[in-house]
Amino acid sequence: MTAAGYSKPNYAIIGAGIGGLALAGLLSRTGAKVRVYEQAAEFQRIGAGIQMGPNAVRVLRALGLEPMLRRLAFYPPSWANRAWDTGEYLFELPYGEDAEARYGAPYLLMHRGDLHAALASAVPPDAIAYGKKLIDLQTTGPDVRLRFADGTSAQADAVIGADGVHSRVREILLGPERPRFTGFVAHRTVFPTALIKGVTVDTCTKWWGPDRHIVIYPVNPARTETYFVTSVPDPDWDVESWSAKGEMAEVFAALAGFHADVQRVIEACPQVHKWALFERDPLPRWSDGPVVLLGDACHPMTPYMAQGAACALEDTAVLARCIAAADGGDLAEGFRRYEATRRDRAARIQLGSRQNEWGKERMDPGWVYGYDAWTAPIAEARATAAE
């Protein structure tokens, strides 16, 4: 991986999720040789919404996706925080034109499937290999060998583990350790707004209960689809699945006593998915030689600041910059500089999200939304705890 005998490295990205696709898009725009290996047999449109803060949109902008996403997404005037029972407004975070003027990029609410499809459109189609579940990788001299569950193998000069909260690449780097189940589950769904009677869903609202909450928002400009996501204690349900079905009866029971507007929304909803919420403490290291992690693989967090995917996108921009800076030089050093640049910020957001206080009281979100991954200073590589 040094300048001697230099030929352009080829990159294997494990995982075609939000981070993996974004990085593949950014690297392929520079002419790099990239291949994405995804365990799923095909892309699935899961019924979920996603919030993209201005810090995330800055990265999507570099992929040329902003105009498309503005057409597909809802542009909320605010994030309203309300008391679960009385409906009292606790704090309203201004979004819309206010946030856009302040941060130079919009806050957008969209269908997760729309975001995923947009990211996939930024990657050459033949660069994504589906049905490739990574089971092992070995660094052998100058390159890395990848082995997949279907019995095939591949070679790469560098590997980026963008394989999510249960990352196999993280496990290979740092040893087996299950992410921590928080004891909370999220019920989530997207359904036709026309089914909701007697209440208008026209912004993003978080209804704060004593130990549980629900967030409700539209996911397209015409507001024809509405999303909600709960966080509810359920200490015995640590199932790892994107597609597990939940029971509506469970949602009604969990949110009994919530404000009438919330009841109208959940009563209208035909079905939900149920998702156990996992997280980790900040990791001691994110890279080892030609292998590096990004996104949930290295900083899985609770969704309470709506920043997990945004952090993954920030990672991709900084990693792409560090790879470009190392061009023809020491890529492993570039990976360590990426890690040094990103670790403290990701840890701050990870630990902040764990508190579940974002927006409950008057606060200034500038340190999160104002971050620009394209101009943030790149740090020098530093020794990690494992060195």
Contact between 187 and 250 under an 8 Å Cβ cutoff? The reply is yes
Given candidates 17, 76, 106, 334, which one binds ligand FAD under the rule CB under 6 A?
17
Q: CB nearer to ligand FAD: give 1 or 15.
A: 15
The 8 Å CB, 24+ separation contacts for 326-330 are 328/3, 328/6, 329/2, 329/3, 330/1, 330/2
Instruction: Indicate which residue of 37, 217, 338, 369 is catalytic.
Output: 217
Q: CB nearer to ligand FAD: give 1 or 52.
A: 52
Q: How far is the CB of 7 from ligand FAD (least distance, A)?
A: 26
Cα four-point dihedral sign 17, 181, 137, 30: positive
How far is C-alpha 125 from the geometric centre of its chain's CA atoms?
22
Dihedral pair phi/psi, residue 95, rounded to 5°:
-115, -135
217 is catalytic: yes
Cα four-point dihedral sign 365, 367, 370, 374: negative
Question: Measured between alpha carbons, how far is 28 from 21 in angstroms, rounded to an integer?
Answer: 10
Q: CB nearer to ligand FAD: give 1 or 352.
A: 352
Q: How far is the CB of 40 from ligand FAD (least distance, A)?
A: 5
Question: Measured between alpha carbons, how far is 292 from 318 in angstroms, rounded to an integer?
Answer: 13
* Closest to 298 measured CA to CA, from 143, 112, 174: 174
Q: What track of x and - describes contact with ligand FAD for positions 308 through 347 (by CB under 6 A)?
A: xxx-x-----------------------------------
Q: Is 251 in the site for ligand FAD (CB under 6 A)?
A: no
Q: Is 358 in the site for ligand FAD (CB under 6 A)?
A: no
> Which residues inside 38-77 make contact with ligand FAD, applying CB under 6 A?
38-40, 50-51
Footprint of ligand FAD (CB under 6 A)? 14-20, 37-40, 50-51, 132-134, 162-164, 168, 186, 188, 229, 275, 295-297, 303, 306-310, 312
Q: Which residues are annotated as catalytic?
A: 217
